[in-house]
Amino acid sequence: MTPVTELERAFAERLDGLDAGDAPVVGLFGAGLPATLVRSAGAMVVDVKAPPLADATDGPRVTAVDSVAEPFLDDFTARFLHRLAAGAFDALSLIVFARGDVAALAAYQYATEMRRLGMIEATGPRFHLWNMVHSDSAAAAAYNRTELARLDAVLDALVSTDRDFAAAQASEARRAAALARVPAGPDGFVWRNAGRWMTPEAHADLLSQLPETAPPASLRIALVGTACDIPVLHRICTCHGNVVADLQPYGHGWERAGKDAPDAAALLAAIAADPLHVRANPPARYSRALREAVAGCDVIVASVDRNDDSFGWDIPMLAAHAAKTGRVFVNLGFRPFRPGADWIAAAETTLAEALA
């Protein structure tokens, strides 16, 4: 199997294709979680928010979930609950949900209540809510330390090995160096995100075997919006330019905040102060970071899902900023969870007309 084929398989199969060996597996749902801390405890970390690609047509549907899941429920949440009830996560030891992610919070609340009511099996992974305040104030720092202590206690009950934070950070640094070589575009999106279901070492090994390529000179495009776990937006943009700033949650890069932190406390502080987290406080910090991140781009393409409750507030600001600075701003509107041919064709037309 070639490195490209292996990366594409990991991206498509996701948790369903996981080979964790003897390590306990911890699922993470949402951004802003101290994954390196979990890895330092000897556990493998995987994303559970994004379902396998085949789930769109062949995913489980469990009657118990259908009986309580309102139609307006976030699609990531709904697919997680069906997979949870069907046993897809039984091999995991723990799932940590990010309080600041609207899909993760609903998934935690539904999963916890369904387990309490006996609607799903009591066996399976433990659930833990990570409730970080994304601010660098002294009060926020004190609160976040209590959250870190809560997570530490859960990890202590899960694994018996000594923590090795330096080794976990070294593995992430090696992966970060390999990720720096990944090109923009649909393929790069797949290769980058495949690592969410691999160890940092395996991911770095595969990425290091890829040939280095330089994108052709073209329009520089920024993608903004809510989480999109497939490269559909990249493919729409390919005909017009290169996506050089992917600022939606699956495009930020790998554990951007805290990559140089010397210890868990410094990692926590870096994640809390990350200005590109959508829950950054004060909100103006996030807006300012968005403007700075798109500074080198010619085109800004925005797309949100139907459950967006946060990013949409920044769209008018970005549109006005683009007009003021001579950039093209394109709003593709609400994006289905798995866009079909009609939505894709309409989005391609919208972008082409805006750039004509």
pLDDT of residue 15: 93
Dmax of the chain from CA atoms? 61
Confidence of residue 341 (pLDDT cuts 50, 70, 90): very high
pLDDT reading at 161 higher than 80: no
Which tokens go with 311? 């990013």
Quick one: pLDDT at residue 121?
82
**Which one, of 293, 289, 288, lies nearest residue 220 by Cα?**
293
Any idea which architecture 215-355 has in CATH?
3-Layer(aba) Sandwich (3.40)
Contact 50, 83 (CB under 8 A): no
Q: What is the mean pLDDT of the chain?
A: 91
Q: With 0-12 CB in 10 A as exposed, 13-18 as middle and 19+ as buried, what is 114?
A: buried
Residue 24, preceding bond cis, omega within 30 degrees?
Answer: no
Q: Tell me the pTM.
A: 0.94
Looking at residue 256, its pLDDT comes to 77
> Given 3.40.50.11390, 3.40.50.11890, 3.40.50.300, 3.30.420.40, which CATH number is that of 12-158?
3.40.50.11890
Residue-wise pLDDT for 36-90, tens only, equals 999 998 899 999 999 999 998 888 999 989 998 888 899 999 999 999 999 999 9
User: What is the reported pLDDT for 201?
Assistant: 95
Helix, strand, or coil (residue 317)? helix
pLDDT in tens, 197-233: 999 999 999 999 998 777 777 899 999 999 999 999 9
pLDDT of residue 157: 87
Distances in whole angstroms, Cα of residue 122 to Cα of each of 68, 125, 127, 163, 344: 18, 9, 11, 29, 41
Predicted confidence at residue 32, as pLDDT, reads 87
Q: Is the pLDDT of residue 308 over 90?
A: no
> Which among 268, 270, 331, 3 is positioned nearest to 142, based on CA atoms?
268
**Residue 104 pLDDT > 90:** yes
Given the structure tokens 């990425």, which residue do they identify? 207
3-class secondary-structure state, position 23: coil
- Asked if the domains 12-158 and 215-355 are classified in one and the same CATH topology, the answer is yes
| Per-residue pLDDT tens digits for 26-38 | 999 998 888 999 9
- The three-point CA angle 76-77-78 to 5° equals 95
Give the confidence band of 17 by pLDDT, cuts at 50, 70, 90.
confident
* Domain ranges across the chain: 12-158, 215-355
Q: Output the six-digit token pair for 342.
A: 């009609």
* Nearest by Cα to 326 from 351, 349, 305, 298: 298
168 confidence band (pLDDT: 50, 70, 90): very high
